[in-house]
Amino acid sequence: MKVTVVGAGAVGASCAEYIAIKNFASEVVILDIKEGFAEGKAMDLMQCASLNGFDTKITGVTNDYSQTANSDICVITSGIPRKPGMTREELIGINAGIVKNVSKSLLEHSPNMILIVVSNPMDTMTYLAHKSTGMPKNRIIGMGGALDSARFKYRLAEALGAPISDVDGMVVGGHSDTGMVPLTSHATRNSIKVSEFLSEERLAQVAEDTKVGGATLTKLLGTSAWYAPGAAVSGMVQAIACDTKKIFPCSTFLEGEYGLNDICIGVPVVLGKDGIEKIVDIPLSDAEKAHMKASAEGVAKTNGLLEL
Ligand SMILES: NC(=O)c1ccc[n+]([C@@H]2O[C@H](COP(=O)([O-])OP(=O)(O)OC[C@H]3O[C@@H](n4cnc5c(N)ncnc54)[C@H](O)[C@@H]3O)[C@@H](O)[C@H]2O)c1
């Protein structure tokens, strides 16, 4: 199993590290445009192998796509992250050009790859990869919901005073501060609805804290977060590589599901060896449906800025 990660920055390196530590891939190639940067990150990570007990071979390359040839899974993390006060949508100008070129170069060398898009604004970048490569929709997957759901579970556990392992919950919709739809009606603590433990007001606060989870960290760190994004990507890569059929909320091209068309947005999907193997249509409350509709309108507006 060969995995390529484009972008050796904060998220790309964290993603490569978690993939290696989980020890399921034979090879990870990290590619960056900055001379020597990916080589340095790869060497540093390889020097963790004997300490962390993994056999995954990690190599770094400067913009040489021939080294990525025949990758099974490719991850795009290249592009600029937001600074405090910025929205993800403001990154479109620079990141659209990067994502378009990178996805085409990857496809030339790995025609059968499954592509995971991380760069922001992620739903629009996933849509762009879909339109510009013409790859089948099951093989283009946007990462946002896996991270947002992890942040939702963190906030739920905090509010419940419960261990995170006791909590389950999912965030669908667009990967933006206003677009995320935390499914509070489905969230549980050890199979008991969280509404049994938390007031409506407290749950609304949990949802609000989840939606600004990225912005909160960007304010604290001066740039966007990387550990949880890297861990979220590695979980998706593992589900595909090991054909686990685990459900993750992922950005995928919709053709009528959730009443939406011609858009990539976060919905629950089954991940396995063929990428997105099934889109899971779940019933939403009226408020969640309205929120999902508004979220899709926001993503479509950003998609309208693309030059396709
Ligand atoms: N989808 C999500 O949930 C999520 C979460 C966190 C960050 N992000 C996004 O991921 C992206 C990366 O964030 P980061 O914090 O790692 O940024 P970073 O600046 O640390 O790293 C980005 C890397 O991309 C490289 N790069 C730029 N253009 C390139 C090109 N054409 N080819 C190859 N490499 C190129 C840069 O040299 C840099 O090393 C940002 O767009 C950020 O907004 C998404």
By alpha-carbon position, which residue is closest to atom 24 of ligand 1? 78
In a domain, 33, yes or no: yes
Supply the range of the domain harboring residue 230.
Answer: 145-303
Pairwise CA distance, residues 135 & 126, whole Å: 11
pLDDT for residue 276: 98
Asked whether the beta carbons of 169 and 206 are under 8 A apart, the reply is: no
Q: Is 86 in the pocket of ligand 1 (CB under 6 A)?
A: no
- Which of 41, 61, 74, 77 for a ligand 1 pocket mutation test, highest count of atoms within 8 Å of Cβ? 77
For residues 6 and 129, membership in a common domain is answered with: yes
Q: Mean pLDDT in each 10-residue stretch from start to end of the chain (308 residues)?
A: 98 98 98 98 98 98 98 98 92 95 98 98 98 97 98 98 98 97 97 98 98 97 97 98 98 97 98 98 94 98 94
Domain count across the chain: 2
Asked whether the beta carbons of 123 and 299 are under 8 A apart, the reply is: yes
In a domain, 59, yes or no: yes
Percent of the chain with pLDDT over 70: 100
Asked whether the beta carbons of 69 and 109 are under 8 A apart, the reply is: yes
For residues 159 and 27, membership in a common domain is answered with: no
Q: If you write DSSP's letter for every residue of 118-131 in order, what string do you get?
A: -SSSHHHHHHHHHH
pLDDT for residue 121: 97
CATH code of the domain containing 79:
3.40.50.720
Tokens encoding 290: 């309205």
For residues 219 and 124, membership in a common domain is answered with: no
Asked whether the beta carbons of 66 and 59 are under 8 A apart, the reply is: no
Q: Is 198 in the pocket of ligand 1 (CB under 6 A)?
A: no
Closest approach atom of ligand 1 to CA 95: 41
Closest approach atom of ligand 1 to CA 31: 33
Alpha helices in the chain (DSSP H): 10-22, 37-46, 49-52, 92-109, 122-133, 145-160, 200-211, 213-221, 227-241, 286-303
Q: Is 7 in the pocket of ligand 1 (CB under 6 A)?
A: yes
Q: Is 12 in the pocket of ligand 1 (CB under 6 A)?
A: yes
For residues 155 and 139, membership in a common domain is answered with: no
User: Where does a domain end: 97, 126, 143?
Assistant: 143
User: Rounded to the nearest whole angstrom, what is the distance from the C-alpha of residue 32 to the centroid of ligand 1?
Assistant: 10
How many Cα atoms within 13 Å fall on the side-chain side of residue 15?
A: 37
Closest approach atom of ligand 1 to CA 91: 41
pLDDT for residue 252: 98
In a domain, 163, yes or no: yes
User: What is the sign, positive or negative, of the torsion defined by CA atoms of 103, 12, 86, 115?
Assistant: positive
Tokens encoding 259: 């009443």
Asked whether the beta carbons of 44 and 20 are under 8 A apart, the reply is: no
Pairwise CA distance, residues 64 & 35, whole Å: 11
In a domain, 308, yes or no: no
Pairwise CA distance, residues 233 & 236, whole Å: 5
In three-state secondary structure terms, 271 is strand
Please pick, among 130, 175, 186, 291, the residue that the annotation labels catalytic. 175
Is 109 part of the annotated catalytic residue set?
Answer: no
pLDDT for residue 308: 85
